[in-house]
Amino acid sequence: MDRPTKTSRRQFLLQSASAAAVASLAVSATSRTASAAPLVGDPWRGLKVGMATYSFIQFDRDYAIKATNRVGVKYCSIKDKHMPRNSTAAERKAAADAFRNAGITPLSCGNVGMNDKEADIRSAFEYARDAGIPVIVCSPTRASLPILDKCVKEFDIKLAIHNHGPEDKVWPSPYDPWKAIQDYDPRIGLCIDVGHTSRAGVDPAEAINKCAARLYDVHLKDLADNSPKSKVIEVGRGILDIQGILAALRAINFQGHVGLEYEKDMKDPMPGIGESIGFIRGLLSHHS
């Protein structure tokens, strides 16, 4: 699939009023909450585009909520920075409800750390249950799969195993968990991180299609180059075929979280997040 050239990208951004609107909001110096300009119909074409709040790891929950609203998305995946794992059931519910009360629906939580001990795994499921969140994004051990199988049945919460690229010796690409989970309950599935997937030498759009039956979460980002150690860059500036990835998600009618995970400029992320969300929205709104 052909990737857009730098020239075509510049032309696209000039033509995309939505991208400009969201990006301008992100770099605004005002403190007021703003949202993207409305488009006719659904600008996201049925995808639940939102924020992985890991993008706001340097900031508190209130900032994460305001920043998510500011760029006009209504879904999130909550990182433990913004809903502590070491908390009571009431505190977890209150944290998730803070997002809901602001018009943001938490579709997943994570990445949730867990070892292969049943008590630790159960505590992760209790964490999601208490918050009313339907999907746990995690990177478990292979040895823990029988316990995870037991827990997804008991709690009726889906598990999305997150691949972390070539440095990850257990789950480098989506195909590693995909192969490992076939004999287990279908609620054990995947979170495809498109950046780590590409760094592992796998085409993200192809992986989305092949793993569609158990795909429960997506981390969306772009990469500066095609090397195994490539860094995250603003979505649309890099080498990933974002249009192809979005088309693959639409083709499978993906209803899980498509979360922007922005891991650049972590102490000042909003300009890049605004540009990235604007580019995603522009792509979706300009392609049927």
Task: Report the half-sphere exposure of 35 (CA within 13 A, side-chain side).
Answer: 12
Q: Between 146 and 287, where is the model more confident?
A: 146
Q: What percent of the chain has pLDDT over 90?
A: 84
Contacts of 244 (CB under 8 A, 6+ apart): 1, 205
- pLDDT above 80 for 20: no
- Kindly tell me the sign of the dihedral angle through the C-alpha atoms of 245, 279, 54, 105: negative
- pLDDT above 80 for 266: yes
User: What percent of the residues of the chain are helix, what percent strand, and what percent coil, each to the nearest 5?
Assistant: 45, 15, 40
Q: What percent of the chain has pLDDT over 70?
A: 85
Question: What's the DSSP call for residue 258?
Answer: E
Give residue 25's pLDDT band: very low, low, confident or very high (50, 70, 90): very low
Please give the helix or strand (H or E) that residue 268 lies within, else none.
none
- pLDDT above 50 for 133: yes
Q: Which residues of 112-151 are buried (b: 16+ CB within 10 A; e: fewer)?
A: bebeeeeeebbebbbbbbbbebbbbbbbbeeebbebbbeb
Is residue 158 within 8 A of residue 216, CB to CB? The reply is yes
User: What's the pLDDT score for residue 288?
Assistant: 55
Q: What is the pLDDT of residues 96-127, one digit of tens each?
A: 999 999 999 999 999 999 999 999 999 999 99
Is residue 198 within 8 A of residue 204, CB to CB? The reply is yes
- pLDDT above 50 for 238: yes
Task: Report the half-sphere exposure of 91 (CA within 13 A, side-chain side).
Answer: 10
- pLDDT above 50 for 34: no
List 1's β-bridge partners, or say none: none
- pLDDT above 50 for 48: yes
Cα–Cα distances (Å) from 196 to 6, 121, 220, 229, in that order, read: 23, 24, 10, 9
Q: What is the pLDDT of residues 198-222, one digit of tens each?
A: 999 999 999 999 999 999 999 999 9
- Kindly tell me the sign of the dihedral angle through the C-alpha atoms of 199, 197, 183, 112: positive
Stretch 239-243: mean pLDDT: 98
Q: Which fold has domain 42-223+242-269?
A: TIM Barrel (3.20.20)
- pLDDT above 90 for 163: yes
User: What's the pLDDT score for residue 41?
Assistant: 79
Stretch 252-263: mean pLDDT: 98
Is residue 92 within 8 A of residue 125, CB to CB? The reply is no
User: What's the pLDDT score for residue 14?
Assistant: 40
Give residue 40's pLDDT band: very low, low, confident or very high (50, 70, 90): low
User: What's the pLDDT score for residue 15?
Assistant: 45
Map out the domains of the chain as residue ranges. Answer: 42-223+242-269
In whole numbers, what is the pLDDT of the chain averaged over residues? 89
Stretch 156-180: mean pLDDT: 97
Q: Which residues of 84-105 are buried (b: 16+ CB within 10 A; e: fewer)?
A: eeebeeeebbebbebbeebebe
User: What's the pLDDT score for residue 203?
Assistant: 98
Q: Between 16 and 209, where is the model more confident?
A: 209
